[in-house]
Structure 1
């Protein structure tokens, strides 16, 4: 039996573009991140996500798109998300839109956004800005959609994704549905792109324990995953970073850093991480423009 187990591990490591995470025993697959979750994240930028969904997934069904004010601070920032069903993939989708325009990106980076924190249900604290945005979307109808879909399709996985600000809200959504026992962590898959630091060290530790399939994809010198500075107000990323240095073309090399929540073997090891262009572009696509164009 032991020999058979070792053989399975060897075969898993031998798969092209697939890396076995030695800590959680989940697998990161470049093809899944590039061709499945990435279109789902980009679709959130569209005024009609169904266009992207139909282009990439047969029999896909948009459940609802929600648009709300991100926080109660009187600003006019709009946060957006959608829920969908992928029957052929046996998956329920929760996807969050990223930053709309550079001005909102600057606002997210403002220290006041990160200094104001709120307690998180799974443990630790999170940015109040991110927490309020997620909770508002959740209570605006996402809760009903997710609960109804899980009730109707109890064997389906829940896929959660988002880019930029959407990555933080996706991280919170995945944590929230597990903490509230809406679904078990083994049935949740989370992949985010260019996600900023979202919560404190206790939040990261709690998040790590909730689900095995949790990956933060980062592109070269993308500035946003380094906002706010590590250690400011105890902010820290959760696992596991997947780092693409320079190229994200098909066949590009990448590194999965799962031995620690943050590792100098991935993007933290770069001397300069100040690129807006690398944040806006993933897998050679301008994320928002590609989503708005229907993922074609």
Structure 2
């Protein structure tokens, strides 16, 4: 009897452990496919026996020409229902231009705590605009399937909110939901991070080297990451090591580097362009990893200036 209990515990721990293969070969590609205008054709190129349920693309933020996008699909070969978010294509521009005050205002969120209004609005537009109904349709038709929720950049923030609601509302049991995000910004405050951790999701924030976006919004705005983080301080090629930080803000992961940041590292995950994969309609390999050192230098200069300004103004601005 004791042996059976120990074996069951080991299996449960193993089932919730981070999988480089799942991240590299499936979920980052599913995130990349959000950038395709024809997701079904895109999925056909790397995921056998996949069925697109719906893609939703809607205007979503204060950049008038920006849209957010996501899709629901079913991978029958993996026995998984997929919910993937792209987010706005102007998010990196927002970061690089230093428009950090967009993240000041927060709103209450269903699971507890507060999240950035900027993030909530984009998520809610897509979720209420069709993705929730499509998810429920796919889940009800395949009740034993895993739920894979994923996204890159701002889409990672939306994925975090969606996965937490799926579990909180009871749309799926927590042991059936997998959340992997790539280059995720901080989504909410410390209370939200604690509430998200309490859900017990199989959840990993994958971060690449000096990616700037996981440092946004700055903690001075009273934002905090949820756990757990997996940090690749390298090019993320096959067999390269990673560090796992099972903490909200793991100081030995990406938080160990706060100033020498990169938008290039944000664009490329697992040595390839995430958006480029979708733009090429998921044909062949990802676009090669090439560092734009000149642009990164400009972004770092703006970033350091804005952080200094925020620190100077911290006594004058209400960041709650």
TM-score by length of 1: 0.88
The within-5 A match list for 1:211-230 is 211-230=200-219
**Matched residue, 1:124:** 113
Alignment of 1:78-227 (within 5 A): 78-101=67-90, 104-106=93-95, 110-227=99-216
1:59 & 1:229 partners in 2: Cα distance? Answer: 42
Aligned pair in 2 of structure 1 residues 141, 102: CA closer, same or farther (>3 Å)?
closer
Deviation at 1:233? Answer: 2.9
CA pair 107-211 structure 1, distance change in 2 beyond 3 A: farther
Which 10-residue stretch deviates more, 190-199 or 268-277? Answer: 268-277
Aligned residue number for residue 17 of structure 1: none
Q: 1:291 aligns with which of 266, 278, 284?
A: 278
Counterpart pick for 1:47 among 27, 37, 55: 37
| Distance across 1 between alignment mates of 2:63 and 2:30 | 30
Structure 1 distance, partners of 2:169, 2:199, is 11
**What do you get for the CA RMSD once the two structures are aligned?**
2.2
Q: For the residues of structure 1 that align with 2:213 and 2:124, how far apart are their CA atoms?
A: 22
- Partners of 1:293 and 1:101 lie apart in 2 by 20
Following TM superposition, by how much is the alpha carbon of 1:3 offset from its aligned partner in structure 2, in angstroms? 6.0
Give structure 1 stretches of 5+ with no counterpart. Answer: 13-19
CA contact (8 A) 1:70 1:129 kept: no
Q: Unpaired segments of 5 or more residues in structure 2?
A: 285-320
Instruction: Pick the aligned partner of 1:263 from 233, 242, 250.
Output: 250
Normalised TM-score (structure 2): 0.82
In structure 2, the partner of 1:30 is 20
Structure holding more strand per residue: 1
* Count, aligned residues: 282
Q: Is the radius of gyration larger for structure 1 or structure 2? A: 2
In the other structure, the counterpart of 2:226 is 238
Residues of 1 paired with 2:16 and 2:156: CA distance?
20
